[in-house]
Structure 1
Amino acid sequence: MSTSAPGASLTVGIDIGGTNIRASVVDGTGEVLDTVQCPTPHSAPALEGALERAVRELGDRHDIDAVGLAVAGFVSADRSTVRFAPHLPWRDAPVAKRLTDRLGLPVLLEHDANAAMWAEYRFGAAAGGHNVVLVAIGTGIGAALLIDGVLYRGTHGVAPELGHLQVVPGGRDCGCGKRGCWERYCSGTALAESAIELVATDPTPSLLAKEVIADPGALTGRRVAGAAQDGDPLALRVMTDFARWLGLGLAFVGDIFDPDLVVVAGGVSSSAPLFLDEAREEYAAAVTGHGHRPLARIRTTQLGEAAGMIGAAELARSSLIAGR
């Protein structure tokens, strides 16, 4: 069994996705030492049992001092309760206490975007930033805000929900109940929907267009990005549209928060060479006072998909040290 260095500690960070659970042992430098993965169960008791088994499996190989969970949902301000998570079975559930009782270890919850932000601040792209916004673009948009090195969670622990800023009044339906939310035009899901709309209104002969016509329901954002990488005309138009919406959304972010740094994370960030330069130009042109104010630097994630786990583990470690 491995042990931590004197004065250090090993903690577990867990990313709970709608499909899979990934749990990693992380040291004080942000290095991932060991990882286990399993499918995500669909009931609360089964999910908590799976989390316990994952931690115990890692605990058989490492001396673990605390556990952090990165949750895609609303987490209470004291980081003990999952109020609502759309893809998980918890509703107003005291998850931290339940898992602490099962594991005999301190357990801390955190919104997944906040966890990713903390990891990037401590070990990645946000290092040295003062007022930083992280925009995690995947199926939707998650976001986090760091002010002078402190995560801002809002009064009730749910801020900032940037993905649900309304950018198109009366626009595309959103699962949140509103219409025209930013994530409906700037996400992996939006890439596919934009391609389908373009084919319907102004078809461009291309391989991707043929695929859309044959089976629009099978189209994914990943496929659109891949086609754009291959130079497909329809996919390139979609990426141009995506870049415009990203830049316009970041202009809103700049107007509201005036950050010195924006970190673009999430699955779509891996395709950044296809859109980020255009998005920067759109942002620079659309932000209020353009040409007469400093602009935020815009970077992509350095830690990738591991950021949520690393951040959750590091926040659990920080909480543990503060409690000593």
Structure 2
Amino acid sequence: MAQDAAQRPVGDLAIGVDIGGTKVAAGIVDEQGAVVARARADTPDRSVRPKVVEDTIVGVVNELLQQAPGRIAAVGIGAAGFVAADRATIVFAPHLSWRQEPLRDRLSALIEPPIFIDNDANAAIWAEGKFGAARGETSAMMITLGTGIGGGILMNGEVIRGRFGIAGEFGHMQVVPAGHRCECGNRGCWEQYASGNALVREARSLVAANSPLARDLYERVQGDASQLTGPLVTEVAKAGDRTAIELLAEVGDWLGVGLANLAAAFDPGAFVIGGGVSAAGDLLIEPARAAFRRQLTGRGFRPEARIVRAELGNEAGMIGAADLARASVLGG
């Protein structure tokens, strides 16, 4: 059982945990945003009970606590889901089994340092604003492209969470009426067209049809479309395969359309693109920039936000969660 908060040790480091659809990644983070130790585990299947996911989190956190005894000020959890305004409850997680889950209380009973909960993209934009690609920007937005799409908003140097705590769920904006069914229950959500799942879906459809345009992809998986992954499509694209490049460009086009809509609503100075799909670099970012310019309201007569790849990579959520947790305990 965890100690009372007044008895808990306060150190100079924090642990950040990034919970995605496929992995739980954790790290010890110092005050400069550097990750000094790491741990990782696979995310349990969404069909399992929430406790199994929570036990996985506890496992990676305890592994790291053993490496820095007495020096961990707090543990920050960046979750891919809707986090309530109390920052203690996961209201809904499309890719996990959490529904009104009192995550902070459950973890606090098992983990020694204080627990801080936030959406993973909120954590990521905080990290990129303080340590990464959005340094110097008072207003910026984070778009994380992974299994789905997450979003974070930084305005006037503060993370904007909304009245109920769940602002920034851009992936579930409808961009295609009656489009692809989304795991959230609606149709035509942005993440059905500009995410890792969208990339894999389109690649698999070509391979399953034995399209001559997808010969390289077909051979890489020996005709088994189920073996195709986003990283594999990106690898093939980087090797020069025209179809894989086209698939990434299509995702980039949809990304740019959504960014133009967000620019009309929020007018940020920068969009920071993170998540696993951002590993494609300019194969994704350049088509997004082009589509953004084509779709931007008032194009040619207004300043354009920068569209940049996240500097902190897949660790932005982890770093941000740790830094927000540290600030919640120590201030700053």
2:315 is aligned, of 296, 303, 306, to 306
Inter-partner Cα distance in structure 1 for 2:240 and 2:289? 21
**Matched position secondary structure for 1:126:** coil
Cα offset for 1:246? 1.6
Cα offset for 1:201? 9.5
Q: Which residue of 2 aligns with 1:20?
A: 23
Q: Which residue of 1 aligns with 2:264?
A: 255
**Matched position secondary structure for 2:26:** strand
Cα offset for 1:107? 0.6
Q: Which residue of 1 aligns with 2:244?
A: 235
- Alignment of 1:115 with 2:109, yes or no, is no
Contact 2:15 / 2:28 at 8 angstroms: preserved in 1? yes
Inter-partner Cα distance in structure 1 for 2:102 and 2:124? 22
Q: Which residue of 1 aligns with 2:33?
A: 30
- Alignment of 1:142 with 2:154, yes or no, is no
- Alignment of 1:55 with 2:58, yes or no, is no
Inter-partner Cα distance in structure 1 for 2:61 and 2:203? 42
Contact 1:203 / 1:209 at 8 angstroms: preserved in 2? no
C-alpha offsets along residues 172-213 of structure 1, whole Å, 9 cap, x if unaligned? 222122222211111112123333556799955452464599
Q: Against the structure 1 CA distance between its residues 177 and 285, is the aligned structure 2 distance closer, same or farther, given a 3 Å change threshold?
A: same
Q: Which residue of 2 aligns with 1:177?
A: 185
- Alignment of 1:292 with 2:292, yes or no, is no
Q: Which residue of 2 aligns with 1:277?
A: 286
Cα offset for 1:309? 1.1
Contact 1:247 / 1:282 at 8 angstroms: preserved in 2? yes
**Matched position secondary structure for 2:39:** strand
Cα offset for 1:275? 2.6
**Matched position secondary structure for 1:157:** coil
Inter-partner Cα distance in structure 2 for 1:146 and 1:107? 22
Cα offset for 1:16? 2.3
**Matched position secondary structure for 2:315:** helix
Contact 2:127 / 2:323 at 8 angstroms: preserved in 1? yes
1:43 is aligned, of 40, 49, 61, to 49
Cα offset for 1:260? 0.7
**Matched position secondary structure for 2:314:** helix
Inter-partner Cα distance in structure 2 for 1:177 and 1:164? 10
**Matched position secondary structure for 2:235:** helix
- Gaps in structure 1 of 5+ consecutive residues: 1-6
Aligned length: 317
Contact 2:15 / 2:72 at 8 angstroms: preserved in 1? yes
- Gaps in structure 2 of 5+ consecutive residues: 1-9
Inter-partner Cα distance in structure 1 for 2:296 and 2:222? 37
Q: Which residue of 1 aligns with 2:5?
A: none
Contact 1:208 / 1:224 at 8 angstroms: preserved in 2? no
- Give the % identical residues: 44
Q: Against the structure 1 CA distance between its residues 295 and 100, is the aligned structure 2 distance closer, same or farther, given a 3 Å change threshold?
A: same
2:102 is aligned, of 77, 94, 102, to 94
Contact 1:121 / 1:127 at 8 angstroms: preserved in 2? yes
Inter-partner Cα distance in structure 1 for 2:56 and 2:201? 35
Cα offset for 1:250? 1.2
Inter-partner Cα distance in structure 2 for 1:232 and 1:214? 17
Q: Which residue of 1 aligns with 2:78?
A: 70
Cα offset for 1:54? 3.2
Q: Which residue of 2 aligns with 1:3?
A: none
Q: Which residue of 2 aligns with 1:154?
A: 162
Inter-partner Cα distance in structure 2 for 1:35 and 1:202? 41
Q: Which residue of 1 aligns with 2:255?
A: 246
**Matched position secondary structure for 2:251:** helix
TM-score by length of 2: 0.87
- Alignment of 1:187 with 2:190, yes or no, is no
